Amino acid sequence: MGYNVTVLAGDGIGPEIMAVTQTVLTQVLAQSEQQIQFNAQLFGGAAIDVTGSPFPPATQAAVATADAVLLGSVGGPKWDEATERPEQGLLALRKQMGVFANVRPVKIFSAVKHLSPLREERLEAVDFVVVRELLGGLYFGEPKYFNEKEGVDTLRYDKASIERIVHYAFKLAATRKGELTSIDKANVLASSKLWRQTVEEIAPLYREVRVTHLYVDAAAMHLIQRPAQFDVIVTENMFGDILSDEASVLGGSLGLLPSSSHAQAGRAALYEPIHGSAPDIAGQDCANPIGMLLSAAMMLRQSFQLEAEATQIETAVETALAAGFLTKDLGGQTSTRAFGAKISELIERSGANVTTNIV
């Protein structure tokens, strides 16, 4: 028994941040006498090297029976010219799992907020979530091809796909500050016209939520100029991809942000940091493992209802940052492994405290 987690470490810094995260997960669950079974599988470029495919059948089978999937990152220059790229494997994984709702929380850690290019007062109270549609739009639309004469992608959204992500975002906003910002390009794009119309139709079902529409170009500006005023953002696949990397700058580093991706109720969810495989720093033991660690915490909370254990990881991350344990992207010199060791030490101590209190 126990939780069956398929682990896809992937490429670049993926295996480095995953190693730290698996150690921390094992520790946290052992403390609370829970079992977790990691089922590591080949994925991305690492899978291409061995099998020729970024998402080989054995990995597909493991994912199909998993309670949750934990993913590092995929891709790298080595496979940029491959017939099927590692990134194609990621899209196929998301599709197989049916994870249409990609939830990317953005919060600021006060210990590192001085690293943000924004003035600190603009960061007061920044706490929002980007809900990114993950199975539609330009990523999946057909036709899609390129040849010597042209390159074609198709931006198509059917009504049902818009409805399910918009409902998801309204429900999330209702549990938070009740502010939903829908981001589109309805002044130009047909898919965005349908998107905006659908949001307007659904809005009366959630009277406790206030809706605002923004065009994506203006939204990119507002995210920097008044980030504290956002609560839940809902947007299509590609806009969400771009805006969430932009949002990561607010808190000081792309390496800090986690995500969860959800299918319909009852199906397994996918947890991955929002950043990529960072080939420029891979193999140097200097990647920031926080986005990965916080993704694992989201898994404990959302897939396994282990609220206390999730909080233990989140608190340890905040404490380590406040104590000055900073990886290179945050201007420090702490290695990936040393950061992981600090988290383990903090969890060991907090676990000991819990036991002492019970005694």
CA nearest to 191, candidates 165, 170, 223: 165
Task: Give catalytic status of residue 139 as yes or no.
Answer: yes
Give the Cα separation of 45 and 71 in Å (integer): 13
> How many binding residues for ligand NAD (CB under 6 A)?
21
Check if the beta carbon of residue 209 is closer than 8 Å to that of residue 234. no
Choose between 241 and 272: whose C-beta lies nearer to Mn ion: 241
Choose between 272 and 309: whose C-beta lies nearer to ligand IPM: 272
Which of 3, 11, 139, 206 is flagged as catalytic?
A: 139
Give the Cα separation of 221 and 224 in Å (integer): 6
Which of 157, 184, 185, 342 is flagged as catalytic?
A: 185
Task: Give catalytic status of residue 49 as yes or no.
Answer: no
Choose between 133 and 309: whose C-beta lies nearer to ligand IPM: 133
CA nearest to 228, candidates 250, 245, 208: 250
Give the nearest residue (CB) to Mn ion: 241
Which of 231, 241, 271, 342 is flagged as catalytic?
A: 241
For the CB of residue 57, give the shortest distance to Mn ion in the complex, in Å.
27
Q: Which does 279 bind (CB under 5 to 8 A by kind): Mn ion, ligand IPM, ligand NAD, none?
A: ligand NAD
Q: Cα dist. 77→8, 11, 34, 288, 351 in Å?
A: 19, 11, 40, 21, 42
What are φ and ψ of residue 271, in 5° steps?
Answer: -125, 125
Q: Cα dist. 289→220, 224, 257 in Å?
A: 27, 25, 10
**DSSP string for 115-168:** GSSS-HHHHTT-EEEEEEE-SSGGGT-SS-EE-SS-EE------HHHHHHHHHH
Task: Kindly state whether residue 136 participates in binding ligand NAD, applying the rule CB under 6 A.
Answer: no
Task: Kindly state whether residue 90 participates in binding ligand NAD, applying the rule CB under 6 A.
Answer: yes
The C-alpha angle 239, 240, 241, rounded to 5 degrees, equals 90
Binder among 9, 87, 261, 303 for ligand NAD (CB under 6 A): 87
Task: Give catalytic status of residue 185 as yes or no.
Answer: yes
Task: Kindly state whether residue 87 participates in binding ligand IPM, applying the rule CB under 6 A.
Answer: yes
Task: Give catalytic status of residue 80 as yes or no.
Answer: no
Binder among 16, 241, 314, 329 for Mn ion (CB under 5 A): 241
Contacts of 49 (CB under 8 A, 6+ apart): none
Which of 80, 144, 159, 217 is flagged as catalytic?
A: 217
For the CB of residue 71, give the shortest distance to Mn ion in the complex, in Å.
13
Give the Cα separation of 254 and 326 in Å (integer): 14
Task: Kindly state whether residue 62 participates in binding ligand IPM, applying the rule CB under 6 A.
Answer: no
Give the Cα separation of 198 and 162 in Å (integer): 7
Q: Within a 13 Å sphere around the CA of 350, how many CA atoms are in the beta-carbon half?
A: 21
For the CB of residue 219, give the shortest distance to ligand IPM in the complex, in Å.
17
Task: Kindly state whether residue 90 participates in binding ligand IPM, applying the rule CB under 6 A.
Answer: yes
Choose between 16 and 241: whose C-beta lies nearer to Mn ion: 241
Footprint (CB under 6 A) of ligand NAD, residues 268-307: 272, 275-281, 287-288, 291
Task: Kindly state whether residue 272 participates in binding Mn ion, applying the rule CB under 5 A.
Answer: no
Task: Give catalytic status of residue 158 as yes or no.
Answer: no
For the CB of residue 74, give the shortest distance to ligand NAD in the complex, in Å.
4
Give the Cα separation of 202 and 249 in Å (integer): 32
> How many binding residues for ligand IPM (CB under 6 A)?
6
Binder among 36, 42, 66, 74 for ligand NAD (CB under 6 A): 74
Check if the beta carbon of residue 17 is closer than 8 Å to that of residue 74. no
Give the Cα separation of 207 and 209 in Å (integer): 5
- In the 8-state DSSP scheme, what is residue 233? E
Give the Cα separation of 234 and 240 in Å (integer): 8
Task: State the binding site for Mg(2+).
Answer: 217, 241, 245
- Return residues touching ligand NAD (CB under 6 A): 13, 73-76, 87, 90, 254-255, 272, 275-281, 287-288, 291, 329
Active site residues: 139, 185, 217, 241, 245
- Return residues touching Mn ion (CB under 5 A): 241
- Return residues touching ligand IPM (CB under 6 A): 75, 87, 90, 241, 274, 276
